[in-house]
Amino acid sequence: MSPLREAFALPCLFLTVALLGGLRLGGDVRLVPPPLVALVLALLLTGSLVRSGVFTPERLLNQRRTGIENACGTVVLLALFGASAQIFNLLTPDSGLLHVLVSVFFLVQLLTTLTAVRDRIAMLRSLAVLLGCAFFLRFIALESLYAPGRGVIKRVMTALMEGITLGALDYVPTGGATGYVAFLTLTLYLIGLVLMPTGRDNAASTAVLWQPAEPDELHGDLPALRRE
């Protein structure tokens, strides 16, 4: 991975996601910090990304790299964690029963992914679908349902849902502009994940990381294999 990508592109992308993830453009401008559950989900997501090979932490942090290289790698990892937390903050409704339901949905989905998905491409596809669905649910379905000045049918539907859940299923619309910012944020996050270093994209670097044992160590007293 080039130093430009590691020192500039990735931190800039992820920090922008961290900034925009909490932005709510309603009647006033609010910057919402991530709740505790978003940090837990971000930790699970980071673990899933590592296990599925979306990125290889050894490419960012290892003892063969210099101090400044390791510092850059640490910054990328921290920025990725912050961006992941803000992505969950963005896609989860801010309060109420919907906040709990969506958080539990994310938790279960991430635990399943953590244990099942082992392939980089499959993980990226799975994550894009998961985040895309959550985006659709919050910024298209719920925003449309709870938008101010909605029609009679929508008002009846929301009143019924709130009545059935004894008022727990409440949602405060964030405003139309927030949806566009959320779309941009989600796109930047996925681009950032694609740009993360893997163990496969640089053969030379991988070769340095994986040093094969000496033939004698492998075969003991057996005669070493000869190559023609």
Partner 1 sequence: MRESVVRTAGLAGTVLYGAAIVWMYAAQPQTVAEVTGGLTSTIGAYRIDQQAFEDGLAFFRRDQFEEARAALSRADPAGRDTLTQFYIAYTCYRQGWGRVYNDDALFKNGLQAVDRAIALAPDHRLVVDDPNLGMRTADELRAELQRGLTRDASDFNPLRLIRPRR
The CA distance from 38 to 86, in Å, is 7
Residue among 67 and 149 whose Cβ is closer to partner 1: 67
Q: How many CA atoms lie within 13 A of 55 on its CB side?
A: 25
73, 60 Cβ separation under 8 angstroms: yes
Work out how close the CB of 103 gets to partner 1 at its nearest, in angstroms, rounded to a whole number: 21
Interface with partner 1, residue 15, by CB under 8 A: yes
With binding defined as CB under 8 A, does residue 184 bind partner 1? no
Query: What are φ and ψ of residue 82, in 5° steps?
Result: -60, -40
52 or 189: CB nearest partner 1: 189
Q: Which two tokens stand for residue 222?
A: 């057996």
Which of 45, 52, 1, 54 minimizes the C-alpha distance to 209?
Answer: 1
**Min separation Cβ 134 and partner 1, Å:** 22
By CB under 8 A, is residue 64 in contact with partner 1?
A: no
Closest CB to partner 1 among residues 11, 93: 11
* Minimum separation from the CB atom of position 61 to partner 1 (A): 14
Pick from 66, 152, 217, 227 the residue near partner 1 by CB under 8 A.
66
The reply on whether position 18 binds partner 1 by CB under 8 A is: yes
Whether the Cβ atoms of residue 127 and residue 186 lie closer than 8 Å to each other? no
3-state secondary structure of 3: helix
Decide: is 177 part of the binding site for partner 1 (CB under 8 A). no
* Cα 188 → chain centroid: 11
Q: Looking at beta carbons only, is 28 or 214 nearer to partner 1? A: 28
Q: Which of residues 60, 61, 64, 71 is near partner 1 by CB under 8 A?
A: 71
Cβ distance to partner 1 smaller for residue 4 or 152 = 4
Instruction: Report the nearest approach of partner 1 to the CB of residue 11 (Å).
Output: 4
Backbone angles phi, psi at 217, to 5 degrees: -65, -35
Where are the extended beta strands (E) located within the chain?
23-25, 29-31
Interface residue with partner 1 among 49, 54, 77, 79 (CB under 8 A) is 79
Q: How far apart are CA 75 and CA 188, in angstroms?
A: 17
Residues that bind partner 1 (CB under 8 A): 3-4, 6-8, 11-12, 15, 18-19, 22, 28-31, 33, 66, 68-69, 71-72, 75, 79
